[in-house]
Amino acid sequence: MTHPQAPVFTRGGGPARHPPAPARAENAPMHAAGPPAITLYDWAPSPFCIKVRAILDYKRLAYRRVSVLGRPILEVRRRGGVGKLPALEIEGRFVTDSTDIALALDARAPLPPLLPTSPRERALCLALEDWCDEALYFTGLHYQWIDPEGAALLPRAFGRSLFGQVALAFYRRLIRQQLRGQGTGRKPAAQIAGDLARQADAIEGLLRDGPFLMGTQPWLCDFALLGQMRYWTHPPATARVLQARPAIGAWLERMKALRTEPPQARAA
Ligand SMILES: N[C@@H](CCC(=O)N[C@@H](CS)C(=O)NCC(=O)O)C(=O)O
């Protein structure tokens, strides 16, 4: 079922209706007066932060954006326990994990909804979301951090400062360990290339009839996929795979069209 407040897309076509921002009267109390009640602890290139920013914009929610490069990461570790990004403070409550963040936002600002109403569709949406977060993510990590073409881009991304160099060395070690633990890090390169091609073909197949993963409306799984696909546009090997799959490219454009500038200014 299409929710009356959701942008309506036609199969194979562009947006048929896209409400101007800010337009969610039902969600308005969160950006009534004063500073935004939401703070996003953010690391710009993270696929999970991309996912949460896209959801905030889709729901037209104002938020303050705090880059965690530097002292704020200590606050995230202290308050969030898990210490991973993104983390979101919403009306004094500290929430970590992009899925929990998405569900907290959906509960607080229900329009447009992130989950279908039918139990089966809801389950499929959550399963697809998990596939994006827990499988596609590690393929992207490999091609960004381990594959020589992607790894060569990292020193520039982290900068030449001492902080940048220390952070790069720290994350390189951490991500190698994570990839080994998850399993991708133990596979030969040719086997990972096979995983990448199979995953990309599956995504292309899911999006071929469009406009979104599960039909005419974007759900949580689309935002999870958006984070991973935007991440895949950076490493050269995954970027080439995306370029060869037109349905993914067309869907990325549709996802971009869902976003508008949030109504209030953000602090970086
Ligand atoms: N399942 C988590 C994954 C979050 C995650 O792995 N974030 C990465 C950044 S892309 C991170 O914080 N890595 C640092 C670490 O593992 O300590 C979510 O959906 O938020």
- State the closest ligand 1 atom to the C-alpha of 47, by its place in the atom list counted from 1: 10
Are 226 and 54 in contact by the 8 Å Cβ rule? The answer is yes
Pocket test for ligand 1, best of 40, 42, 48, 232 (most atoms within 8 A of CB): 48
The predicted model scores a pTM of 0.87
Q: Is 139 close to ligand 1, i.e. is its CB under 6 Å away?
A: no
Are 90 and 37 in contact by the 8 Å Cβ rule? The answer is yes
What is residue 70's predicted lDDT score, i.e. its pLDDT?
A: 73
What is residue 261's predicted lDDT score, i.e. its pLDDT?
A: 45
Helix axis angle, 189-207 to 246-257, nearest 10°: 60
What is residue 26's predicted lDDT score, i.e. its pLDDT?
A: 55
What is residue 27's predicted lDDT score, i.e. its pLDDT?
A: 65
What is the mean pLDDT of each successive set of 10 residues along the chain, which is 268 residues long?
Answer: 46 35 52 72 95 97 88 76 87 93 96 98 98 98 98 93 91 97 98 98 96 97 98 98 98 92 40
CA 72 to ligand 1 center in whole angstroms? 15
CA 33 to ligand 1 center in whole angstroms? 32
What is residue 193's predicted lDDT score, i.e. its pLDDT?
A: 98
**What does the block give as tokens for 205?**
């197949």
